[in-house]
C-alpha cells in the first residue's frame, strides 16, 4: 500500500494508473476506521480497479464547541486495517497540505444543505463541500463512495458534483449497523456503559415511526412528535431533529410517500448520534 502525504506524491501514485487504463475509486474518511468504513472499501473494490482511501480529520467541518480536539485519531491502526483490506493507496494529508497559509476558498452548496444537520451545525456542509472538492481534484477518481449514514452529506455532495459538472459517479453505501441496530460510527466509542444500551433506540424509533406513518400517511406531525417524545423518555437528552423529508431534494414532506426519508439527530449526554431510513421500504 502506498501512503502519500502530499499532493505531488499522491499524483505520482495515481497518474500511472490512469495511463494504464485503471479505474479509481475514492473513499474519503476521517479515520478511526470501523467496519462501516470497510463496507465502503468493499464496494469500492467491486466497482473500481484501484482503491484510494483518504484519512483526514477536516477541521473546517467542525463548528466552535464541537468535538474536533477529542475526535479519535489512530493513524497507525487505520493504516494496518486499510493494508489488511487490500487498499492500494492511503492518502494522509496534513492540515497544512489541505489548507496552506493564505487558503481562502469555500465551496458552499445551497438547498439540500439547509435544515437538518445544516441548521444545527452552521458551516458544517461548507467544510464538507470544500474538502470533498479538494479531494476530488487531487485524486481525480472515476467513482466516489460515500455512506448513507450521513445522508444529507451524500445529497450535498451529489448536488455539488452535478452543479460543477464533475466527471465522477457517486455511489451511496447502505448503513452498516451493530447487531442491535445502532449505526456504526467513530463517535460510538464516546458512549458510556450506561448510554450504550440506550443508543440503539434511535434506529428502533425510526422503525416504529415508519410503521406508524405507513398506517397513517397523513398524520406526520403527530407521529413525529410521538417519536421525539419516545426518544426523550428512553433517555436521550435532546432530539435535534426527527423529520420526514423528500429523499432526493430533502425538502420537508407533509405526507408520507414512497419517495420520503426519515432522518434523526439526537444527543445522549455529549454524544451526538444521527441515523436515517427510507420511509417507504418494508411495512
Helix (H, G, I), strand (E, B) or coil at 265: strand
- Minimum distance from residue 249 beta carbon to ligand AMP (Å): 19
Residue nearest to ligand AMP (CB): 147
- Minimum distance from residue 147 beta carbon to ligand AMP (Å): 2
- Minimum distance from residue 175 beta carbon to ligand AMP (Å): 4
State which residue, 10 or 131, has the beta carbon closest to ligand AMP: 131
Contact between 93 and ligand AMP by CB under 6 A: the answer reads no
Helix or strand (DSSP H, E) at 138? helix 124-139
Pick from 149, 159, 201, 245: which binds ligand AMP (CB under 6 A)?
149
44 φ/ψ angles, rounded to the nearest 5 degrees: -60, -40
From CA 10, how far away is CA 50, in angstroms rounded?
13
Contact between 191 and ligand AMP by CB under 6 A: the answer reads no
Identify whether the C-beta of residue 129 lies closer than 8 Å to the C-beta of residue 122: no
From CA 163, how far away is CA 169, in angstroms rounded?
13
- Minimum distance from residue 67 beta carbon to ligand AMP (Å): 12
From CA 181, how far away is CA 264, in angstroms rounded?
14
Distance of CA 155 to the CA centre of its chain: 10
Q: Which of residues 166-185 bind ligand AMP (CB under 6 A)?
A: 173, 175-176, 183-185
Q: Where are any strands of DSSP class E within 3-49?
A: 24-29
37, 84, 102, 124: which is the annotated catalytic residue? 37
Q: How many residues does the chain have?
A: 283
State which residue, 41 or 279, has the beta carbon closest to ligand AMP: 41
Catalytic status, residue 120:
no
Helix (H, G, I), strand (E, B) or coil at 26: strand
Residue span 16-55 as binding mask against ligand AMP, x where in contact by CB under 6 A, dash where not: -------------xx-----xx-xx---------------
Identify whether the C-beta of residue 169 lies closer than 8 Å to the C-beta of residue 20: no
Q: 234 in the Ramachandran plot: left (φ > 0), alpha (ψ -120 to 50) or beta?
A: alpha
User: Would you call 72 exposed, middle or buried from its count of C-beta atoms within 10 A (0-12, 13-18, 19+)?
Assistant: middle
From CA 9, how far away is CA 119, in angstroms rounded?
38
State which residue, 58 or 195, has the beta carbon closest to ligand AMP: 58
Contact between 150 and ligand AMP by CB under 6 A: the answer reads yes
Total interface residues for ligand AMP by CB under 6 A: 17
- Minimum distance from residue 57 beta carbon to ligand AMP (Å): 8
Contact between 186 and ligand AMP by CB under 6 A: the answer reads yes
Catalytic sites, residue numbers:
37
Which parts of this chain interact with ligand AMP (CB under 6 A)?
29-30, 36-37, 39-40, 146-147, 149-150, 173, 175-176, 183-186
Amino acid at each position: 500500500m502506498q501512503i502519500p502525504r502530499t499532493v505531488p506524491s499522491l499524483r505520482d501514485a495515481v497518474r500511472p494508473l490512469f495511463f494504464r487504463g485503471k479505474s479509481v475509486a475514492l473513499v474519503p474518511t476521517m479515520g478511526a476506521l470501523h467496519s462501516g468504513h470497510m463496507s465502503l472499501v468493499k464496494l469500492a473494490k467491486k466497482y473500481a480497479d484501484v482503491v484510494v482511501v483518504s484519512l483526514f480529520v477536516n477541521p473546517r467541518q467542525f463548528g466552535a464547541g464541537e468535538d474536533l480536539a477529542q475526535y479519535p485519531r489512530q493513524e497507525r491502526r487505520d493504516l494496518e486495517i486499510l493494508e489488511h483490506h487490500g487498499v492500494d493507496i492511503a492518502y494522509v494529508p496534513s492540515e497544512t497540505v489541505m489548507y496552506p497559509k493564505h487558503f481562502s476558498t469555500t465551496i458552499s452548496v445551497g438547498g439540500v444543505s439547509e435544515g437538518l444537520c445544516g441548521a444545527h451545525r452552521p458551516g458544517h456542509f461548507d467544510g464538507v463541500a470544500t474538502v470533498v472538492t479538494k479531494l476530488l481534484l487531487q485524486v481525480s477518481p472515476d467513482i466516489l463512495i460515500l455512506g448513507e449514514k450521513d445522508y444529507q452529506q451524500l445529497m450535498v455532495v451529489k448536488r455539488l458534483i452535478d452543479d460543477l459538472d464533475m466527471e465522477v459517479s457517486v455511489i451511496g453505501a447502505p448503513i452498516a449497523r451493530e447487531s442491535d441496530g445502532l449505526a456504526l460510527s467513530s463517535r460510538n466509542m464516546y458512549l458510556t456503559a450506561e448510554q450504550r444500551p440506550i443508543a440503539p433506540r434511535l434506529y428502533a424509533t425510526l422503525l416504529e415511526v415508519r410503521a406508524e406513518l405507513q398506517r397513517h400517511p397523513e398524520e406526520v406531525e403527530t407521529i413525529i412528535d410521538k417519536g421525539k417524545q419516545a426518544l426523550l423518555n428512553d433517555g436521550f437528552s435532546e432530539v435535534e431533529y426527527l423529520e420526514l423529508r423528500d429523499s432526493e431534494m430533502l425538502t420537508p414532506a407533509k405526507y408520507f410517500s414512497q419517495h420520503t426519508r426519515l432522518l434523526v439527530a439526537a444527543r445522549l449526554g455529549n454524544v451526538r448520534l444521527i441515523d436515517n431510513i427510507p420511509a417507504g421500504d418494508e411495512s
